[in-house]
Structure 1
Amino acid sequence: MERCRVRSRGVAVLAVLVTLALAAGAAAVWLWPGKDEGTPEEVARDYFAAWSRGSLDGMGRLVADPPPDFADQHHALSDGLRVSTIALDPRPVVRSGPDTARAAFTVTRAVAGRGDWTFGSELRLGKVDGRWRVLWTPSTLYPGLRGKGTWSLREVTVPAVAPVARDGKPFPQDGPLQPYLSAINERMEGEAGTGWVIELRDGSGPVQRVKVLGVKATRKVRTTLDRRVQAAAERAVGGRQAAVVAIRPSSGEIVAVADALGGMGAFVGTYPPGSTFKVVTAAALLADGMGAGSAADCPAVVVTAQRTIRNDQNHDLGRTTLRDAFAASCNTTFARLAVEKAGAKKLAAAAESFGFGARVAPGLSAAPCPFPSVGSGAALAEAGIGQGQVLASPLLMASVAAAVADGTWRAPRLLSPELIREGGGGVPDAHDVPGAADLRSMMRAVVTGGTAARAGLPEGTSGKTGTAEYDGGTHAWFIGFRGDLAFSVLVPDGGSGPEVAAPLAAAFLRGLR
């Protein structure tokens, strides 16, 4: 039997027994102050109540268009990990619009007698045909999950290390850093005995290590992570599926990774960077002789290399400057200049100077994100605005912002160069990037009067917004820097960069005060 508890802050809720498969069980006593009919609060309450009873049918009736394998996906997690108890801790519902709302929650599972596994997720709600319903996806079950997950528990031998913060203090064992800390454990030499690893295969993807249980490490390995910055990044991300990566431009040290993308998505996941890539395109143009004040055209629509490019909401600046076109994120300007002035070779060279294709070894695995071979046609126009075949990780885009801030691209790293070499890696040489001074003024203009002007970013912040289109959806991006701190923010499927990612960045920076 599997014991399931549902907790509400300040409200006592009785524990009830449900079947191991979460299919049926004794009725729960659900205590909730008041009753709010016809609202997202009611739907969230009823969904968690059904979960507490082990009623997958009851949960499914509250979901808009539940997938045929809705119950199977829940069974796969509990059965695959031999879960004995579950504790749910729902937060209050937060309305994000007239027809959308979110309810963050924390779930703790006791796994096969090997320990507890705790993580946060989010229940998304929306109006469908005039009625509030749960907008369920696999990421509701586990953040970042995209397909049907295959879960397993495996006994492993682990290195005898315990990664700690730069001040020598430990991290929470169940935070979003856990996959990264586990990967550092794997990289370092030495064995401390055995532990149990939770593994996930997302659809047909590779097996990911999600959590290690029962590890007794003996050697402290000091990372570059700053607990204060890490805490601010985690608070900003909250229960959302998002990532914040922060870097010290002067050293390349990674000081925060708040990753709710699943696995090590901020390092190994790749996404179209959208208009944040205009930093690289602008660098190529600056290297070719343009300046921030050079004349440029920003029509609402342009046809270049047989590709029709439009600006967001068809905005039209007419004859303007490169700086103002950058601040307003003119797709038409940068797509045409990428084709007609920069060209594929110069754009590729600029991308490489900002770390695209570099085999960085920050102390664990990271995607190299090579710049694609785009030729001189429509693919080049799309690449100039960060679309088409261009892909980047949040880690890489944080290093792009850091390179602008300092004028030098440094390989981002979580460990000292000595420890990276001990783990079998290497640190690429630092090098200057083109046009850094002009890029700093252009990124400042984005915040003072451009697409991020209304995001609430603190004084002294510079950055670039991005709204990256893919398969009918959009990723929200913001990259930037303030003082000796550079960062990237990604909200997959989040919508608008100016409206979603930039305010999240503002919350992160305000949280550092």
Structure 2
Amino acid sequence: MRYRGVAVLAGLLAVVMVAGLVAGWMLRPDKDADTAERVTAGYFAAWRNGDLEKMRGFVTDPPASFAAQHKALSDGLAVTTIELKPGPVVRSGPDDARVDYLVRRNLAGQGDWSFTSELRLGRREGRWRVLWSPATLYPGLRGDGQWAMRQVNVPALSLTARDGRPLPDDGTLAPYIAGIASRLDAAEEQTAWAVELRDDGGRPQRVKLFGVEKGRKIETTLDRRVQAAAEKALESAPERAAIVAVRSKSGEILAVADGLGGLGAIIGRYPPGSTFKVVTAGALVADGSGAGTAADCPASVVTAQRTIRNDEDHALGRTTLRGAFAASCNTTFARLAVEGLGADRLAASARRFGFGVPITPGVNAVDGSFPEPRNGAELAEAAIGQGRVEASPLLMASVAAAVADGSWRSPRLLSPKLIREGGGVTPEPRGVPGAAALRTMMTAVVTGGTAAGAGLPNGTAGKTGTAELGDGRSHAWFIGYRDDIAFSVFVEAGGSGPKVAVPLAARFLQKPR
């Protein structure tokens, strides 16, 4: 009996010890209170309860205007209720994660407004925190947003894809649909309400229309399958990004997956980096060079008292224009522009590719900017898409389309007749001399250059770009074409074009269409 009692006591002690160990493990903060999942759950719970101070507590380095930005949206749009549906936590590394979420707000007297956004998380000093930016509140928002409901007059119409099927009036296409409706001059107008956004004091953008009657049917150029493929590819983008696709032979816009916010893919101007070498190569070819013309690619070069370096100081030595283009040799194109082309011939090539030409897609858009270089140093920078050269993702997609087709065409979302109805004029096509040589160069980028080995499907040609911003950050670019679809992939402050933008293009092109 004595041994039996000892055994029972030992068993009880073991149970107590195990229970204590389990309880202790469950209470460890790194296993329980501080996981990406629990931080996400706490953040959304506080948001549902309207507890902005508690939300702020989950954020690393929250801006002073954190609460004010949330209140500006709620007060400006008279939000009565908010519904939040977060998806699962998706990890992109041991210390980084994201959560896609659907937010639906009821706007007093108007109805529901919903869209999908993204919550980013990271482990900072051993703790999971929300990495908040204005884009968390609304996709693409960069600064303090000013929100308002405006009564507007718009045509009584419904917009469809090219196959006649309806387009969604929410998501990233919503600002484009609202913009098209606002510009068309229909026989019957109706009064509607619009959600209007000013991003950090910028131009107002209509991002949602309420109470629009479905009258006249307007067919756009958008292709639902290509749009779906672009949106799906963009889901894996590491930063604010956009994918634009156009039909090379007509300039028709097939897809605009815009994660830049509002009409960012067509009104945002960014340095194009090395994707602009398509324009510079176009000037060289028009001046008599060919893909096999001899060229030098040193690691660095001094031209016009400006030192130009290649990425990671790579060098090819004596090569061809095709080889320098495929390897994206800054030194080659900067020196050839300064010592051979001159500003006038480079500017003429830029105009042939749509820079400085009014773009009329059927909504507000900006043209590309190629200011006249004031000296040789600026010319060297312009030749590699830096300095004061700027373009939108839409324009750079049209640059790729011009190479594929042999003529530059203004990209458009509507037929030329409807664009005229909206007060626009479609520019005449512009021939691109030596397009066959440029196609050879862009093919070499994919088969053995900076875009090789990234999973791009056969038949793809393109040009990578990494546009330096001067603060250690870079925009990531990749433009190109496959068959009759030309495209532009842009990731704002995303880093390397070959490492970031090219894989997104591969995902887009490999989707069934």
**Larger mean Cα displacement after TM superposition, 238-247 or 210-219:** 238-247
Is this contact kept in 2: 1:105–1:239, CA < 8 A?
no
Q: Which amino acid aligns with 1:109?
A: R
**Larger mean Cα displacement after TM superposition, 400-409 or 117-126:** 117-126
1:331-354 residue CA offsets vs partner (Å, 9 max, x unmatched): 121122221112111110000000
Q: Distance in 2 between matches of 1:354 and 1:512?
A: 30
Identity of aligned residues (%): 66
Map residues 262-301 of structure 1 onto 2, 5 A cutoff. 262-301=261-300
Is this contact kept in 2: 1:160–1:189, CA < 8 A?
no
Q: Distance in 1 between matches of 2:32 and 2:316?
A: 48
Q: Distance in 1 between matches of 2:328 and 2:95?
A: 29
Map residues 6-405 of structure 1 onto 2, 5 A cutoff. 38-190=34-186, 191-238=188-235, 240=237, 241-405=240-404
Q: Which amino acid aligns with 1:423?
A: G
* 5+ long unaligned stretches in structure 2: 1-30
Q: Which amino acid aligns with 2:227?
A: Q
Give the structure-2-normalised TM-score.
0.90
Is this contact kept in 2: 1:458–1:510, CA < 8 A?
yes
Q: Which amino acid aligns with 1:235?
A: K
Deviation at 1:239, TM superposition (A): 7.1
Q: Distance in 1 between matches of 2:413 and 2:45?
A: 42
1:500 is matched with 500
Q: Which amino acid aligns with 2:500?
A: V
Deviation at 1:140, TM superposition (A): 1.0
Change (3 A) 1:201 1:435: same
**Larger mean Cα displacement after TM superposition, 85-94 or 64-73:** 85-94
Q: Distance in 1 between matches of 2:339 and 2:93?
A: 42
Is this contact kept in 2: 1:344–1:375, CA < 8 A?
no
Deviation at 1:271, TM superposition (A): 0.6
2:432 is matched with 433
Change (3 A) 1:483 1:44: same
1:82-105 residue CA offsets vs partner (Å, 9 max, x unmatched): 111111122222222343322222
Q: Which amino acid aligns with 1:395?
A: L
Q: Distance in 2 between matches of 1:338 and 1:49?
A: 58
Deviation at 1:38, TM superposition (A): 4.1
SS in structure 2 opposite 1:177?
A: helix
1:479 is matched with 479
Q: Distance in 2 between matches of 1:310 and 1:41?
A: 44
Deviation at 1:36, TM superposition (A): 5.7
Q: Distance in 2 between matches of 1:330 and 1:318?
A: 10
Deviation at 1:188, TM superposition (A): 1.2
Deviation at 1:471, TM superposition (A): 4.2
The structure whose Rg is larger is 2
Q: Which amino acid aligns with 2:456?
A: L
Q: Distance in 1 between matches of 2:319 and 2:258?
A: 39
Is this contact kept in 2: 1:160–1:216, CA < 8 A?
yes
1:27 is matched with none
1:454 is matched with 453
1:282-338 residue CA offsets vs partner (Å, 9 max, x unmatched): 111111222111122222222222222221122122222111111111112112222
Judging by fraction of residues, say which structure has more helix: 2
SS in structure 2 opposite 1:46?
A: helix
> What's the Cα RMSD here?
1.6
Q: Distance in 2 between matches of 1:201 and 1:91?
A: 29
Q: Which amino acid aligns with 1:485?
A: I
Is this contact kept in 2: 1:339–1:376, CA < 8 A?
no
Q: Which amino acid aligns with 1:206?
A: R
Q: Distance in 2 between matches of 1:463 and 1:499?
A: 14
Deviation at 1:74, TM superposition (A): 0.7
SS in structure 2 opposite 1:143?
A: coil
Q: Which amino acid aligns with 2:70?
A: H
1:28 is matched with none
Q: Distance in 2 between matches of 1:242 and 1:272?
A: 14
Is this contact kept in 2: 1:343–1:376, CA < 8 A?
no
Is this contact kept in 1: 2:353–2:430, CA < 8 A?
no
Deviation at 1:193, TM superposition (A): 2.0
Is this contact kept in 1: 2:463–2:480, CA < 8 A?
yes
Q: Which amino acid aligns with 1:493?
A: A
Q: Distance in 2 between matches of 1:432 and 1:456?
A: 32
SS in structure 2 opposite 1:176?
A: helix
SS in structure 2 opposite 1:157?
A: strand
Q: Distance in 2 between matches of 1:131 and 1:333?
A: 47
Q: Distance in 2 between matches of 1:152 and 1:239?
A: 31
Q: Which amino acid aligns with 1:193?
A: Q
Q: Distance in 1 between matches of 2:383 and 2:95?
A: 35
Change (3 A) 1:295 1:99: farther
Deviation at 1:37, TM superposition (A): 5.4
1:18 is matched with none
**Larger mean Cα displacement after TM superposition, 317-326 or 485-494:** 317-326
Q: Which amino acid aligns with 2:494?
A: G
Deviation at 1:396, TM superposition (A): 0.5
Q: Distance in 2 between matches of 1:130 and 1:338?
A: 50
Is this contact kept in 2: 1:106–1:118, CA < 8 A?
yes
Change (3 A) 1:275 1:42: farther
Deviation at 1:250, TM superposition (A): 1.0
* 5+ long unaligned stretches in structure 1: 1-34
Q: Distance in 2 between matches of 1:298 and 1:68?
A: 49
Aligned pairs, number: 479
Is this contact kept in 1: 2:337–2:383, CA < 8 A?
yes
